[in-house]
Amino acid sequence: MIKFTQVSKRYPGGYEALKNVGFEIEEGEIAFLTGHSGAGKSTLLKLIAAIERPNGGSIVVKGQNVGSLKSGALPFLRRNLGLIFQDHKLLFDRSVFDNVILPLQICGFDHRESAKRARAALDKVGLLAREKANPIALSGGEQQRLCIARAIVNRPTILLADEPTGNLDSAYADEIMSIFKSFHQVGVTLLIATHDENVLRQSDGRRLLLKHGELQP
């Protein structure tokens, strides 16, 4: 599903975020990307979504070589991915519902069908009652769940999450992890970047440990 071969990423200024990284994640697998902050976890996720481009090596996602995709093809790659960001990236100029329906509008879905799906996604993360609220009125945990709802509304086959339990207390974190587990059960491939020991202790997925941009065996 996701295959890295000798991938390296250097930022302007010479900082090497990733060095010679190679791994493969199978379809339906749940994997955890761990390591200290600055180890290259976020960079790795960004490379998968082609938010950053690698300097060397190849990244294949669902049979497509991401590194060589033209910019016109990027939107269609990203529609297969559910992205969950540490800083949520919610839009505060519209309601919770409008935030969730945005990916469906972007894909040009039928309006009524979209509304149904958006409500289903909100229900899944327990925010259906807040659909008319502005995201700014939500707590940190709720905002994170909203971000998840937006990522899954499109029914992506791959979910990428960057520190999804980042600033949350353990009760919220458990809630979010159980949502992820339910996706794993229906066959979604998950790659979760986290340094949250609690999360790692409770989960039995594969671990990919990054240290100074290198994958530890």
Partner 1 sequence: MSNWLIQHWLVFLFTLRRLLATPVASLLNIAIMGIALSLPVGVYVLLQNVQGLAAQAAGAPQISVFLAKDASKDDVAQTGKRLAQLDDIERIEFVPREQALDQLKHSTGLADVIGGLSQNPLPDAYILYPKTADLKVLEGLRDRLQTWPKLEHVQLDSAWARKLEALLGFVRLAVLILASLLSIALVAITFNTIRLQILTKRDEIEVSKLIGATHAFIRRPFLYFGLLQGLLAGAAAWLIISLSLYLLNRSLAGLAELYASNFTLHHLSAGDSLSLLLFSAYLGWLGAWLSVSQHLWQIEPK
Among 12, 13, 14, 108, binds partner 1 (CB under 8 A): 108
- Per-residue binding string, partner 1, 133-172, x by CB under 8 A, is -----------------x---x------------------
- Residues 6 or more apart from 112 whose CB is under 8 A from it? none
Residues forming a β-bridge with 59: 4
From residue 163, alpha-carbon distances to 98, 160, 199 in Å are: 24, 10, 10
Binding to partner 1 by residue 111, rule CB under 8 A? yes
DSSP 10-39: E-TTS-EEEEEEEEEE-TT-EEEEE--TTS
- Tokens describing residue 47: 């490379």
Exactly one of 1, 49, 115, 200 binds partner 1 (CB under 8 A); that residue is 49
Give the nearer residue to partner 1 in terms of CB position, either 142 or 196: 142
User: Binding of partner 1 at residue 83 (CB under 8 A)?
Assistant: yes
89 binding partner 1? (CB under 8 A): yes
* Residue 51 contacts partner 1 per CB under 8 A: yes
Give me the helix-helix angle, 140-152 and 170-185, nearest 10°: 10
76 in contact with partner 1 (CB under 8 A): yes
Per CB under 8 A, residues contacting partner 1 are 49, 51, 72, 75-79, 83, 89-91, 93, 102-103, 105-108, 110-111, 150, 154
